[in-house]
Amino acid sequence: MLFQISEQIVNGIVTGAVYALVAVGMTMIFGVLRAINFAHGEYYMVGTFGAWVAIEYFDLPYPVAIVAGVIATAFVALVIGQFVMRRMVGAPAEAGVLATLGIALILQNSVILLFGGGYKFFEGGYIEPVTILGVSLAEQRLLIIAVAVLVFFGLELLVTYSRMGKAMRAVSQNVECCAVVGIDVRKVVVRTFVLGAALAGLSGVLTAPVNVSVYGGMGELITFKTLPIIIMGGLGNVRGTFFAAMILGIAESLVATYVGLQFRDTVGFATLMLVLMWRPHGLFSAQARY
């Protein structure tokens, strides 16, 4: 019994790490743009497909496919950033909702048109099991946790000390003032967006060997998983997002095991409701934003 719980918690941490990598981009984009990116899960899907193409069509090894998937996602995000996201600066909230929902449809259907709508098999990754503290899990899952921890550590440094990170915080705190001190808000928005999307892509590539199947609509569910996470984490808060993602990952894993698999996807919004009843601003206050 105890063993099973610890196994489920470890699984939950892996799931949480996957969510965290996706959600952190969404929360950073919200920070600079004050808009929810409803297409965010699609970048997770684009990253996975990028890696799948690299392996299936070009016969590249998995580590190279990781890089290929992330670069492909960053490129797609750069194009969308230049043509769509930068125009959302100062636009009403509805514009952001409609534009990103539209992008989600376009990306999903483009991939389906290019590669077909069926499920594809993702070959690659490190699926040998290892045993740690009595829990046996695939190496790939350890890789996911390690990468997530590294990424969040890097983001903390970026946001705290780098010129770009400071500009991101500045945009999230006072857009008007950015114009006064000469910060190019649109440029900051596009860079933040590309970074956030690339991280979602990375998450997709890392998860693919665990999930095995790849398909055009795989990003949708991820978008709706990340939504409650970024709200719980305190919209725009990087550190808060990490902990909120872990909470959701572990809660999902426990519910799937002890309550029923069919309830797993309701955990996110159920947890969100409980959290908001207790702390209406999310788990982490705006003081800790970025």
Partner 1 sequence: MAETSLSIAGLRAGYGSLDILNGVDLDVPQGQFVALLGPNGAGKSTLLKTLYGMTTIKGGAIRWQGRDIAGLASREILAQGVSLVPQGRCNFPLMTIDENLQMAAYTLRDAKVKADRDYVYELFPILRKRRATLAGNMSGGEQQLLEVAMAVLQRPRILLVDEPSVGLSPAAIGIVFDELLRINAMGQTILLVEQNTKKAMEVAQRAVILRLGKVIWDGKPTEISHDELGELFMTGRMRGETDVQH
Strand partners, 138: 129
Binding to partner 1 by residue 285, rule CB under 8 A? no
Binding to partner 1 by residue 179, rule CB under 8 A? yes
Piece of the chain touching partner 1 by CB under 8 A; list 16-24, 141-149, 202-210, 281-289: 281-289
Binding to partner 1 by residue 182, rule CB under 8 A? yes
Piece of the chain touching partner 1 by CB under 8 A; list 1-9, 32-40, 173-181, 199-207: 173-181
**Residue among 174, 211, 213, 266 that touches partner 1 (CB under 8 A):** 174
CB closer to partner 1, 128 vs 176? 176
Binding to partner 1 by residue 272, rule CB under 8 A? no
**Residue among 167, 244, 246, 255 that touches partner 1 (CB under 8 A):** 167
**Residue among 5, 79, 177, 270 that touches partner 1 (CB under 8 A):** 177
Binding to partner 1 by residue 173, rule CB under 8 A? yes
Contacts of 180 (CB under 8 A, 6+ apart): none
Contacts of 162 (CB under 8 A, 6+ apart): none
Contacts of 145 (CB under 8 A, 6+ apart): 13, 14, 17
Residue among 26, 71, 11 nearest 219 (CA): 26
Binding to partner 1 by residue 91, rule CB under 8 A? no
Listed in sequence order, the DSSP H helices in the chain are 2-33, 40-56, 62-83, 93-115, 139-161, 163-173, 175-181, 185-211, 218-232, 238-258, 267-278
DSSP 96-129: HHHHHHHHHHHHHHHHHHHH-SS-EE---S---E
* Residue pair 144/207 in contact by the 8 Å Cβ criterion: yes
CB of 95 to partner 1, least distance (A): 18
CB of 172 to partner 1, least distance (A): 8
Total residues in contact with partner 1, by rule CB under 8 A: 19
Binding to partner 1 by residue 289, rule CB under 8 A? yes
Binding to partner 1 by residue 4, rule CB under 8 A? no
Binding to partner 1 by residue 180, rule CB under 8 A? yes
First and final C-alpha spacing in the chain: 39
**Residue among 133, 181, 261, 277 that touches partner 1 (CB under 8 A):** 181
CA distance linking residue 166 with residue 233, whole number of Å: 20
State residue 33 phi and psi, 5-degree precision. -115, -10
CB of 156 to partner 1, least distance (A): 15
**Exposure of 103 by Cβ count < 10 A (0-12 exposed, 13-18 middle, 19+ buried)?**
buried
**Residue among 169, 216, 235, 240 that touches partner 1 (CB under 8 A):** 169
CB closer to partner 1, 178 vs 227? 178
Binding to partner 1 by residue 123, rule CB under 8 A? no
CB of 241 to partner 1, least distance (A): 17
Contacts of 92 (CB under 8 A, 6+ apart): none
Residues that bind partner 1 (CB under 8 A): 163, 166-167, 169-170, 173-174, 176-177, 179-184, 286-287, 289-290
